[in-house]
Structure 1
């Protein structure tokens, strides 16, 4: 069994899921995410910003990843 850190496709899937989840949670609870702009939890705020600003690219990446998972 391989970890997601050693399998590139799994790593990309985890990153895309993190970005999409953070963007969704920021849409639902904006005050919770905006409190953590600095520090260790700022990673989630940054992922939410990536998901919001690059949403066409993130959605295209999610579709591409879904096709790759289904085909392989």
Structure 2
């Protein structure tokens, strides 16, 4: 089953994208910052979300991990 048709998998993919983009931007900011518009701008926006809402993203990752372990 694709991640697009399973809501929990879609949330997991979004959380992983936010965390990955934030990490890559902290290591090499030029990779993310050069594409602020268009399709690749999604990575820039994901990095911004990860930076600005990091406590909530971390809590979401913990909650997702617990739900995956319980299932």
Gaps of 5+ in 2: none
Count of aligned pairs: 71
Gaps of 5+ in 1: none
Runs ≥4 in structure 1, deviation > 4 angstroms? Answer: none
Matching residue of 1:28: 27
Instruction: Quote the Cα distance in structure 2 between the aligned partners of 1:34 and 1:64.
Output: 29
Alignment of 1:1-72 (within 5 A): 2-72=1-71
- TM-score normalised by structure 1 residue count: 0.96
CA RMSD in angstroms comes to: 0.5
